[in-house]
Structure 1
Amino acid sequence: MTYVNSLGDVGAADIAMAGGKAVGLGGLIQAGLPVPPGFVLNTAAYSHFVETNQLEARIQELATLSPQATPQDYADGSERIQTLFAVGTMPAAIAAELGAAYGRLSDARLDDGGETAVAVRSSATAEDLAAASFAGQQETYLNVSGAEALSAAVIDCWASLWTARAMAYRARGGIGPDSVRLAVVVQRMVEAEAAGVMFTANPANGRRDQIAISAAWGLGESVVSGTVTPDDVVVDAGTGAVLSRQTADKAVMTVYAEHGTREQPVAAARRRAPVLDDRAAAELACYGTRSADHFGAPQDIEWARAGGEFFILQSRPITALPEPAADTPDTWPVPYPKGLYFRASIVEQLPDPLSPLFADLIDGSVSRSLRALMNEAVGTNVIREDDVGLPTINGYAYYYYRTSGMWRVMGKALTAVRALARGKAHMGVAGWREFSHPRYEHAIKDWQAKPAAELSGAELLDGVQALLDAGTVYYTAVQSVIPLAATSEISFSAYYDKFVRREGDPPALTFILGYDSEPIRAEKSLYDLAAWARSVPGLASAILNEPTTALAESQRRGFPPAGFSESLWQLWRPRFQDHLGRFGHAVYNLDFASPVPADDPSALLDAVKFYLRGHGADPHERQRLSSDRREIATSRIFTRLGPRRRAAFLRLLRWAQNTAPIREDALADVGLAWPLLRRMLLELGRRLVDSAVIVEPADVFWLRHQELRSAVEFGLAAPGAPAAVAITGADRPVRAAAVEERRMLWRGQVKAAAPQLLPESRWMEKAFGSMMPAGSQHQLGDIIKGTGASAGRVTAPARVLRGPQDFALMEPGEVLVARITTPAWTSLFAMASAVVTDVGGPLSHSSIVAREYGIPAVLGTGVATQRLTSGQQIRVDGDAGTVAIEQPSPTQGP
Structure 2
Amino acid sequence: MRAGLPVPPGFVVPTPAYAAFVADAGIGAEVVALARAGEPDAADRIGALFAGHPLTGPVADAVVRAYADLGGGPVAVRSSATVEDLEGASSAGQQDTYLHRTGADAVLAAVRDCWASLWTARAMAYRARAGVDPGSVSLAVVVQRMVAARSSGVLFTADPASGRRDRAAVSAAWGLGESVVGGTVSTDDLVVDTATGAVVSRTVADKAVMTVATATGTREDPVPENRRRTAVLDDAAAAELVALGVRIAGLFGSPQDVEWARDADGAFHVVQARPITALPEPTGDVPTSWPVPHPGGTYFRASIVEQLPDPLTPLFADLVDGSVSRSLGALMATAFGAPLRDGDLSFPTVNGYAYYFYRNTGLIRMLLRTPQAGRALLGRGAGELRGGVDGWRERSHPAYVAEVRAWSGRDPAGLTGAEILDGVGALLDAGTRYYTAVQSIIPLAAGSEIVFAAFYDALVRRAGDPAASTFLVGFDSRPLQAETSLYDLAHAPRDAAWDERFRAHLAAFGHTVYNLDFASPVPADDPGPLHATIRFFADGGGTDPYERQRRAAALRDELTRVTRARLDPLRRALFDRLLAAAQRTGPVREDALADVGLAWPAMRRMLRELGRRLVDDGVVADADDVFWLRHAELRGYVDGVRADHRADVDARRMVWRGQRRATPPQLLPERPWMSRLLGAVMPGREGVQTGPVVRGTGASAGQVTARARVLDGPGDFADLVPGEVLVARITTPAWTPLFAMAAAVVTDIGGPLSHGSIVAREYGIPAVLGTGSATGRIRTGQPVRVDGDAGTVTLLDEPAAAEPAVPRRWPGWVAAAVVAGLIVRRLRR
Q: Does 1:613 align with 2:539?
A: yes
Letter in 2 for 1:248: A
Q: 2:96 aligns with which of 131, 139, 145?
A: 139
CA–CA separation in structure 1 for the residues paired with 2:377 and 2:422: 32
Q: 1:61 aligns with which of 16, 22, 33?
A: 33
The one-character-per-residue Cα deviations of 1:776-817 (angstroms, maximum 9, x if unpaired) are 232221112111111111111111112112211111111111
Indicate if the aligned counterparts of 2:303 and 2:682 stay in contact, CA closer than 8 A.
no
Cα gap change, 1:61 to 1:679, in 2 (>3 Å):
closer
Deviation at 1:643, TM superposition (A): 4.7
Name the counterpart of 2:603: 677
Indicate if the aligned counterparts of 1:813 and 1:831 stay in contact, CA closer than 8 A.
yes
Q: 1:51 aligns with which of 11, 23, 28?
A: 23
CA–CA separation in structure 2 for the residues paired with 1:785 and 1:684: 45
Deviation at 1:887, TM superposition (A): 1.2
Indicate if the aligned counterparts of 2:385 and 2:445 stay in contact, CA closer than 8 A.
no
Alignment of 1:312-711 (within 5 A): 312-381=270-339, 383-418=340-375, 420=377, 422=380, 428-502=388-462, 505-532=465-492, 536=493, 539=494, 568=495, 570-641=496-567, 643-711=569-637
Q: Does 1:283 align with 2:243?
A: no
Deviation at 1:470, TM superposition (A): 0.8
Q: 1:116 aligns with which of 52, 60, 73?
A: 73
Q: Secondary structure at the match of 1:672?
A: helix
Q: Does 1:801 align with 2:711?
A: yes
Q: Secondary structure at the match of 1:40?
A: strand
Q: Secondary structure at the match of 1:332?
A: coil
CA–CA separation in structure 2 for the residues paired with 1:205 and 1:761: 32
The one-character-per-residue Cα deviations of 1:609-664 (angstroms, maximum 9, x if unpaired) are 11112111111111000111112222333445455443332222211111111111
CA–CA separation in structure 2 for the residues paired with 1:786 and 1:218: 51
Deviation at 1:512, TM superposition (A): 1.3
Q: Does 1:182 align with 2:139?
A: yes
Name the counterpart of 2:4: 32
Letter in 2 for 1:516: D
Letter in 1 for 2:352: G
Deviation at 1:424, TM superposition (A): 7.0
Deviation at 1:513, TM superposition (A): 0.8
Cα gap change, 1:89 to 1:652, in 2 (>3 Å):
closer
Aligned length: 795
Q: 2:788 aligns with which of 878, 885, 888?
A: 878
Deviation at 1:166, TM superposition (A): 2.1
Letter in 1 for 2:756: S
Q: Secondary structure at the match of 1:193?
A: strand
Deviation at 1:215, TM superposition (A): 0.6
My pick for the range that moved more, 56-65 or 242-251, is 56-65
Q: Secondary structure at the match of 1:622?
A: helix
Q: Does 1:273 align with 2:230?
A: yes
The one-character-per-residue Cα deviations of 1:65-93 (angstroms, maximum 9, x if unpaired) are 2xxx4xxx1x4222222222212133233
Name the counterpart of 1:216: 173
Indicate if the aligned counterparts of 2:162 and 2:281 stay in contact, CA closer than 8 A.
yes
CA–CA separation in structure 2 for the residues paired with 1:675 and 1:209: 36
My pick for the range that moved more, 176-185 or 387-396, is 176-185
Name the counterpart of 1:547: none
Indicate if the aligned counterparts of 1:341 and 1:399 stay in contact, CA closer than 8 A.
yes
CA–CA separation in structure 1 for the residues paired with 2:386 and 2:453: 28
CA RMSD of aligned residues (A): 2.0
Q: Secondary structure at the match of 2:577?
A: helix
Alignment of 1:749-788 (within 5 A): 749-788=659-698
Deviation at 1:503, TM superposition (A): 5.7
Cα gap change, 1:572 to 1:485, in 2 (>3 Å):
same
Indicate if the aligned counterparts of 2:700 and 2:766 stay in contact, CA closer than 8 A.
yes
Deviation at 1:502, TM superposition (A): 4.8
Indicate if the aligned counterparts of 1:347 and 1:399 stay in contact, CA closer than 8 A.
no
CA–CA separation in structure 2 for the residues paired with 1:597 and 1:215: 48
Name the counterpart of 1:554: none
Indicate if the aligned counterparts of 1:420 and 1:427 stay in contact, CA closer than 8 A.
no
Name the counterpart of 2:742: 832
Letter in 2 for 1:866: G
Indicate if the aligned counterparts of 2:331 and 2:440 stay in contact, CA closer than 8 A.
no
Q: Does 1:93 align with 2:50?
A: no
Runs of at least 5 residues in structure 2 that lack an aligned partner in the other structure:
800-829
Alignment of 1:188-199 (within 5 A): 188-199=145-156
Indicate if the aligned counterparts of 1:144 and 1:259 stay in contact, CA closer than 8 A.
yes
Indicate if the aligned counterparts of 2:74 and 2:102 stay in contact, CA closer than 8 A.
yes
Letter in 2 for 1:103: A
The one-character-per-residue Cα deviations of 1:386-415 (angstroms, maximum 9, x if unpaired) are 011111111000111111111111122233
Q: Does 1:258 align with 2:233?
A: no
Cα gap change, 1:418 to 1:572, in 2 (>3 Å):
farther
Indicate if the aligned counterparts of 1:31 and 1:291 stay in contact, CA closer than 8 A.
no
Deviation at 1:340, TM superposition (A): 0.8
Letter in 2 for 1:673: A
Indicate if the aligned counterparts of 1:371 and 1:384 stay in contact, CA closer than 8 A.
no
Indicate if the aligned counterparts of 2:385 and 2:441 stay in contact, CA closer than 8 A.
no
Indicate if the aligned counterparts of 2:194 and 2:246 stay in contact, CA closer than 8 A.
yes
Deviation at 1:425, TM superposition (A): 12
Deviation at 1:170, TM superposition (A): 2.6
Indicate if the aligned counterparts of 1:378 and 1:419 stay in contact, CA closer than 8 A.
no
The one-character-per-residue Cα deviations of 1:220-266 (angstroms, maximum 9, x if unpaired) are 11211112221111111122222221111211111112321111111
Deviation at 1:591, TM superposition (A): 0.5
Q: 1:79 aligns with which of 39, 44, 50?
A: 44
Cα gap change, 1:637 to 1:174, in 2 (>3 Å):
closer
CA–CA separation in structure 1 for the residues paired with 2:749 and 2:377: 25
Letter in 1 for 2:277: T
Name the counterpart of 1:235: 192
Letter in 2 for 1:332: W
CA–CA separation in structure 2 for the residues paired with 1:572 and 1:290: 56
Q: 1:865 aligns with which of 775, 792, 801?
A: 775
My pick for the range that moved more, 40-49 or 747-756, is 40-49
Letter in 2 for 1:654: A
Cα gap change, 1:50 to 1:639, in 2 (>3 Å):
closer
Deviation at 1:427, TM superposition (A): 6.7
Deviation at 1:320, TM superposition (A): 0.4
Indicate if the aligned counterparts of 1:858 and 1:881 stay in contact, CA closer than 8 A.
yes
Letter in 2 for 1:83: A
Indicate if the aligned counterparts of 1:588 and 1:803 stay in contact, CA closer than 8 A.
yes
Indicate if the aligned counterparts of 2:93 and 2:182 stay in contact, CA closer than 8 A.
no
CA–CA separation in structure 1 for the residues paired with 2:117 and 2:457: 71
Name the counterpart of 2:84: 127
CA–CA separation in structure 1 for the residues paired with 2:662 and 2:459: 47
Q: Secondary structure at the match of 1:340?
A: strand
CA–CA separation in structure 1 for the residues paired with 2:389 and 2:300: 26
My pick for the range that moved more, 386-395 or 863-872, is 863-872
CA–CA separation in structure 1 for the residues paired with 2:17 and 2:403: 74
Runs of at least 5 residues in structure 1 that lack an aligned partner in the other structure:
1-28, 107-114, 540-567, 717-723, 729-733, 890-894
TM-score of the two chains, using structure 1 as the length reference:
0.86
CA–CA separation in structure 2 for the residues paired with 1:586 and 1:451: 22
